Homo-oligomer: A and B are copies of this chain.
Amino acid sequence: MRMTELSQRSGVPIPTIRYYIREGLLPSGQFTSPNQATYDDSHVRRLALIRAMVEVGEMSIAAVGKLFRHLETKGGDEFVTLGLVQYSLTRELSPSDDSDAVTRVRDLLDQLGWRVNDHNPARSVLATTVETLDRLGYDDLLGLLDRYAAAAHELAEAEVDLMLAREGLDNRAGAVVVTGVLGDAMLSALRRLAQEDVTARTLRPTKTTKTRSTSPRRKAAK
């Protein structure tokens, strides 16, 4: 297809597509003449992935570019490449130097028995969160860390199954991006909705109607 059709099918304006090509986020099309190129379905899919990372995941163009460069380094170890892709989704956050939060996170991971690389940036995000909760006096939320970890691991088992069910490094890396970025957004939204439900049931219990007599809280938490 031509650029015009690529823009229509992807919903991405032509100048933005040209920008992505210049920044190395999207491969050039196949040139059929010096100023005419054709594109295929792989370009449409790549554009959708870029939009998901930029719009839903709020990733910078630089971070998206870095991610795709990991994928282009062929011949590497698949586990290492998938790890680098995942790491590039995580925004760096650093706890204060004098914080013991890094040690607390290491102890938690040891206790859970999780095998996690020392360089996974999610460690420092978790440490920064722990430090901030501590500083704000929300030790009670820190008490829920084990439950958060258990929920995260249960979901991760299903997510990794889906990822490994795909063939080829590119498709598996796509799944890492999607379960990371869209999974975060989905879970965040569902938590907000669930919190409203639980709060409504507690502060406004009288509003329960007959249609909800089948104990939806228990049903939802099953």
Footprint of B on A, CB under 8 Å?
Answer: 45, 48-49, 51-52, 55-56, 58, 78-79, 82-83, 86, 89-90, 93, 109, 112-117, 120, 122-123, 125-126, 128-130, 132-133, 135-138, 140-141, 144-145, 147-160, 162-165, 174-176, 178-180, 182-204, 207-208, 212, 214, 216-217, 219-222
Contacts and interface: CB of A to CB of B under 8 A. Distances in A.
Given A151-B154, A193-B152, A220-B113, A129 B182 contact: yes
Given A133-B182, A148-B187, A180-B191, 4 more contacts: A79-B203, A114-B196, A129-B189, A152-B191
Given A151-B155, A154-B151, A197 B138 contact: no
Chain A interface, DSSP helix/strand/loop, else mixed: helix
A167 to B, nearest CB: 13
A147 B190 CA distance: 11
B160 A195 contact: yes
Contacts of A159: 141, 144, 191, 195, 198
